[in-house]
Amino acid sequence: MSGFFTHLGTDFASILFVLTVLTGVLWVLDRYRLEPARKAAALVAGGEPAKASWLVDFGRQFFPVIAAVFLLRSFVVEPFRIPSGSMIPTLHVGDFILVNRFAYGLRCPVGDCKLLGLGQPKHGDVVVFRYPVDPKADFIKRVIGLPGDTVRYVNKQLTVNGQLVSQDLQGRFDASNQRLREDYEGAVHDILQNPDRPPQDFEFTVPEGQYFMMGDNRDGSSDSRYWGTVPEAYLKGRAFFIWMSWDFETQRPVLSRIGQGIR
């Protein structure tokens, strides 16, 4: 099951950047060249200043709004929508979430460069990142392995650096899956396991500068077990809040999920 978001993504970020630059150029041009020229011409003619062209007026009116959205989305918080079940039960299809864009440092709005390092991912963080196979797509998973960690997954039991991650059975989630509560260094969260699916045993040491990700729907997630680790440069931020949840079958909001933190 895929774990990507259907949102405007990297392409939208590029478009927003271009719009910010273009409207900014128009705003500066009008403020310091065109508007003074119109006023000077009106003073000589003894009339009212001529109106700016529609293009210049568009840039002048919308530059502050576009710039504010661009800066907020690039450096503070970004909204995403969950379209798949790879993170059930933590995140459901139709959840609209917010992602902290500065949790792991301030990054360039376009590209992979980092402007300022502010923090690093921790075990158990729920992270949005660019999909290594197709960097235009965004995925969300839980951080299981940090650089240098040895991750072992045997009989659906997770061990990291020789430490067993505790699992407590909570009962059935649905006809196919069991719900278990996992405590990973204080990051307490629920996961799903399908007893009928055969285990995919492995042991893996995470390379430097990379992160090993897994979905909470352990038998229904496309993650690092299949396509490898995530480079540090591809991290976008830490998911922290569900601001809206929508049931597309009933066409109604799921009020019980709105306002929940993500852990």
List the catalytic residues.
86, 141
CA distances (Å), origin 221, targets 53, 85, 214, 215: 53, 8, 7, 5
Please count the other Cβ atoms lying within 10 Å of the Cβ belonging to residue 103: 19
The number of angstroms, rounded, from the C-alpha of 51 to the middle of its chain's C-alpha atoms is 43
Eight-class DSSP state of 252: E
The answer to whether 56 touches 62, Cβ cutoff 8 Å, is no
CA distances from 211 to 10, 23, 42, 230 (A): 21, 38, 63, 5
C-alpha span between 64 and 106 (Å, rounded): 21
Torsion of CA 257, 258, 262, 263, to 10 degrees: -50
